Structure 1
Amino acid sequence: MPEPVKIRKGLDIRLKGGVQGGSHDLPAADRFSIHPTDFHGLVPRMAVKAGAEVKVGDVLFTDKKNPDIKFVSGLAGTVHEPIRGEKRRILRVDVSASGSGTAAGTSVDPSQPDGDAVRAAMLSMGFWPMLKQRPFAVMPASDSTPRDIFVSGFDSAPLAPTAAMVLDGRMDAFRAGLSYLNALLPSGRKVQLGVAGGDTFFAEVTEADLTAYSGPHPAGNVGVQIHEVCPINKGEVVWTVGMQDVANIGEGLMSGTYTAKRKVALTGSRSQPALLNTTVGTPMSSLIKDRVMTEGTRVISGNVLTGSVRGEEGALGFHDQQVTCIPEGHEPLFFLTKGWLGPGFDKFSASRAFPTWLMPKGKEYDLNTNNNGEERAFVVTGQYDAVFPFDIYPVQLLKSILVGDIDRMEKLGIYEVAPEDFALCEYVCTSKLDVQDIVRKGLDQMIEEFA
């Protein structure tokens, strides 16, 4: 394997509560839930009515803008009335377990897969929503063709599980999934697989072009890997897929049945860390039962930087492989001991504001959700540049988004980024801005401009 690409800018936030040891099988859930809000820009159109009986792989709803894209049930049972929000927007679709059976699909030979057959099978069997597209960080259209497909083979986010944990026993399915994805690319191209420097877990994979990366988070973010290998230009389309979803695509297309297995890392200082074998759409209540101190705890589907808060009635995010539980941080702190004038021996800082920067690099911290301040004026501090490894000016791009300057947004590289790429900028932001929300609004402006 060649020398790894060194990512020099970034930040590793060392939290308590990482997973250690092997995985555990979670009892079968009594409910499957899918949140249409996990797919930005999706307008769902229900394909079944409340009370209908469905099998695993039966269609629940489609994308109103792209009717060929189907969202299917991961559980055999009875469909409930959709949970709706403002303006009757569908927030969640539930299926309660009450039956058995799996809908029959189309299997594809992984040794010589045909691109059209793979595309048709992924659309009909419900695997298409596992894909993401850049630019704009949305689900790709059913008729789009990517320049490249990128898969990150490691997650550098706080407390994230390793590839060896989540793909244990699934390497054959993973390699078959890569073969299927290669069939969707222009002739002669392969999937680009990013791996952690020094990691030999993917050493025998020949179905992808491997590139090794080393350095702090966000080295494992697929956006950083795209930027280092082949940046996106205007008019180009790149797809990204999670490594567990690659294995699901491989297993599902080989068997001809819908597969949505997920190994989920339950992490954080307010939990009993564990690696759980379950499926996409598992209710949060099943994941945290008897494992999390729920009082005064924020339960996040995903990592602390980019995840979303889900109550016990919600479900694991469609693309997530981690649940993080940290303290809410609502308690008042005495300013001379634990507050802003305290010595800060238990506080993590990205700017050396506390003496903990002198501590050993292995020290872990029990951080909470407190912002330690309110939103302030947007000032230029240089903090973003220290944690943003793109060859892009982050402050100037954000300001161009805030004023709605489309031309400048293009020149400053908005086609290359997604909200998750700015997560560390949001963490270190002195102005306490919701930086990821700003980037999302900018991408939405670009979508409207070129619709």
Structure 2
Amino acid sequence: MSNDIRIKRGHTLRLKGEAEKTLIDAPRSKTFAIKPPDFHSVVPKMVLKEGAQVQAGDEIFYSKYTGEVKFTAPVSGTLKEIKRGEKRRIMEVIIEADSTDTYREFGTMDPLSADSADVKNRILESGCWAFINQRPYDIVADPKDSPKAIFVSGMNTAPLSADVEFMLQDRMEAFQVGLNALNKLTRGKVHLSVAKQKSSALKKMQNVELHEVTGPHPAANVGVQIAHVDPINMGERVWTVRPEDVAIIGELFLTGKYNAVRTVAVAGTEAENRKYFRTKIGANVADLVGTVSDDVRIISGDVLTGQKLTNGQYIGFFPNLVTLIPEGNKYRMLGWLPFTYNDIPSKSRTNLSWLFPKKKYTVDTNLHGEVRALVVTGEMEEVVPMDVFPMQLIKACMAGDIEKMESLGIYEVAPEDFALVDYVNTSKIEAQEIIRLGLDLMITEVG
């Protein structure tokens, strides 16, 4: 039996360029990269030097402040380069891949019959702990904590996002075993959310509390689901895992190998080959999208929350989507006038897009305005379906007022929950960045 979650506030951004549901193997990249900045608040400590030989599943670095959390190689090969940025911060660990992978053997295990400590140790030893995030703060979970629940969102509502069930169609057994393993990590329940309208094999999963979700984006955001099912209070911990990462954990227990498979949907109007590609974590983006011109923005992730890439860079650790859209480097004369251009999707009624709710649009990166003062308009409240006051919380984060941040719900939110605020707000502020800085302050001052 499922529990319904109905989301009314939000906004679905309809874009052209969706990936067709065809799954193909991507060309094997010559090099792969693990990027420590993908793991917020983790300070990496290397255990290998350049030139070292690695198998898939071998430890590359660990977290300085949580030594049990290891980060392992997604492929076998030679550790080619450790790229550093300012203050010698490690930005990328690049592995020159072998033609075929060899794997470190961890041994098979049935998580249902195994001891909880053994399940946790296996996940830690293999590097799969990197897939487990903690709320509050949206950081890698601390294995010493005991979460009150674990949430898995088996759906996507972000623009051009990958279809979860299509990605997992041949990995359902591994997904179920992964859910069984997660049950051993919490004193509470494992919650799985799926789209209510769809007939989905995910609804048949065992050992989970099933939730059927309806509503516009960000209905699929795990933070929104947590807020409606089991809100986070001060001192509590909730863990989250992405669906394909659950399958990787399950495959670890089924086969004894860390098989860092990543199914990536290539989408967007500027993508020539809009399909689903099966590759490995940290693949070179050029092997998925080819060579693109400087007038095209490559985004690792969706257009609301993704990170900009350039030719030859590497996809992030988590995203199942690469989006290609035009750069917004063209000036629109009198673009500030209402109804001047009606080819831009808008939440407000400053153009006529609201008359065509099912129409899909081609978008670029143009912000259509500069940063302005914060004005009380009610726009933010319309797209944040959580029990928080978004504008007041943003102001508290900007002021660094810890007490107000706590009272306004900072423990419940993550930057992705404010992605639509970036899109709709007239002030053109970077709400996600402000929330991230506020969360970092809370980690430092409260812990």
Provide TM-score, normalisation by structure 1.
0.95
Task: Work out whether residues 147 and 238 of structure 2, in 8 Å CA contact, stay in contact via their aligned partners in 1.
Answer: yes
- 2:246 alignment partner in structure 1: 246
Task: Work out whether residues 344 and 356 of structure 1, in 8 Å CA contact, stay in contact via their aligned partners in 2.
Answer: no
Q: Residues 341, 378 of structure 1: CA spacing in aligned structure 2 closer, same or farther, 3 A cutoff?
A: closer
- 1:85 alignment partner in structure 2: 85
- 1:358 alignment partner in structure 2: 355
- 1:197 alignment partner in structure 2: 196
Task: Work out whether residues 106 and 121 of structure 1, in 8 Å CA contact, stay in contact via their aligned partners in 2.
Answer: no
1:386 is aligned with what amino acid? E
Superposition RMSD in Å: 1.5
Residue 203 of structure 1 and its aligned partner are, at CA, apart by 2.5
Residue 167 of structure 1 and its aligned partner are, at CA, apart by 0.6
Q: 2 CA distance for matches of 1:243 and 1:294?
A: 33
- 2:109 alignment partner in structure 1: 108
- 1:345 alignment partner in structure 2: 342
Task: Work out whether residues 153 and 163 of structure 1, in 8 Å CA contact, stay in contact via their aligned partners in 2.
Answer: yes
Paired residue secondary structure (1:81): strand
1:302 is aligned with what amino acid? G
Residue 447 of structure 1 and its aligned partner are, at CA, apart by 0.8
- 1:177 alignment partner in structure 2: 178
- 2:305 alignment partner in structure 1: 306
Percent identity of the aligned residues? Answer: 42
Q: 2 CA distance for matches of 1:94 and 1:17?
A: 31
Provide TM-score, normalisation by structure 2.
0.96
Q: Residues 77, 369 of structure 1: CA spacing in aligned structure 2 closer, same or farther, 3 A cutoff?
A: same
Q: How does 1:125-164 map to 2 (within 5 A)?
A: 125-164=126-165
Q: 2 CA distance for matches of 1:140 and 1:39?
A: 10
Q: 2 CA distance for matches of 1:204 and 1:128?
A: 26
Q: How does 1:345-424 map to 2 (within 5 A)?
A: 345-359=342-356, 361-424=357-420
Q: Deviations over 1:197-242 (max 9, x none)?
A: 1223122112211011101000000000000001000110000000
Task: Work out whether residues 57 and 73 of structure 2, in 8 Å CA contact, stay in contact via their aligned partners in 1.
Answer: yes
Paired residue secondary structure (1:325): strand
Q: 1 CA distance for matches of 2:432 and 2:336?
A: 27
Q: 1 CA distance for matches of 2:304 and 2:325?
A: 12
- 1:17 alignment partner in structure 2: 17
Q: 2 CA distance for matches of 1:275 and 1:216?
A: 24
Q: 2 CA distance for matches of 1:217 and 1:107?
A: 39
Matched, 1:74 2:74: yes
Task: Work out whether residues 384 and 428 of structure 1, in 8 Å CA contact, stay in contact via their aligned partners in 2.
Answer: yes
Task: Work out whether residues 112 and 181 of structure 2, in 8 Å CA contact, stay in contact via their aligned partners in 1.
Answer: no
Paired residue secondary structure (1:60): strand
Q: 1 CA distance for matches of 2:105 and 2:349?
A: 58
Q: Deviations over 1:256-302 (max 9, x none)?
A: 11121111110101103111111111111111116xx4330110000
Q: 2 CA distance for matches of 1:198 and 1:206?
A: 20
Task: Work out whether residues 193 and 210 of structure 2, in 8 Å CA contact, stay in contact via their aligned partners in 1.
Answer: yes
Q: Deviations over 1:327-369 (max 9, x none)?
A: 111022233xx6646632211110011012112x321101110
1:349 is aligned with what amino acid? S
Q: Deviations over 1:117-170 (max 9, x none)?
A: 111001111100001000011001122211100000101100012122111111
- 1:53 alignment partner in structure 2: 53
Matched, 1:323 2:322: yes
- 1:237 alignment partner in structure 2: 237
Q: Deviations over 1:174-201 (max 9, x none)?
A: 0000000001111xx3310011112231
Task: Work out whether residues 7 and 215 of structure 2, in 8 Å CA contact, stay in contact via their aligned partners in 1.
Answer: yes
Task: Work out whether residues 267 and 325 of structure 1, in 8 Å CA contact, stay in contact via their aligned partners in 2.
Answer: yes
Q: Residues 288, 183 of structure 1: CA spacing in aligned structure 2 closer, same or farther, 3 A cutoff?
A: same
Q: How many residues align?
A: 444
Q: 2 CA distance for matches of 1:303 and 1:382?
A: 25
Task: Work out whether residues 2 and 209 of structure 2, in 8 Å CA contact, stay in contact via their aligned partners in 1.
Answer: no
Task: List alignment gaps of at least 5 residues for structure 1.
Answer: none
Task: Work out whether residues 338 and 350 of structure 2, in 8 Å CA contact, stay in contact via their aligned partners in 1.
Answer: no
- 1:165 alignment partner in structure 2: 166
Residue 28 of structure 1 and its aligned partner are, at CA, apart by 1.8
Paired residue secondary structure (1:40): coil
Q: 1 CA distance for matches of 2:394 and 2:342?
A: 34
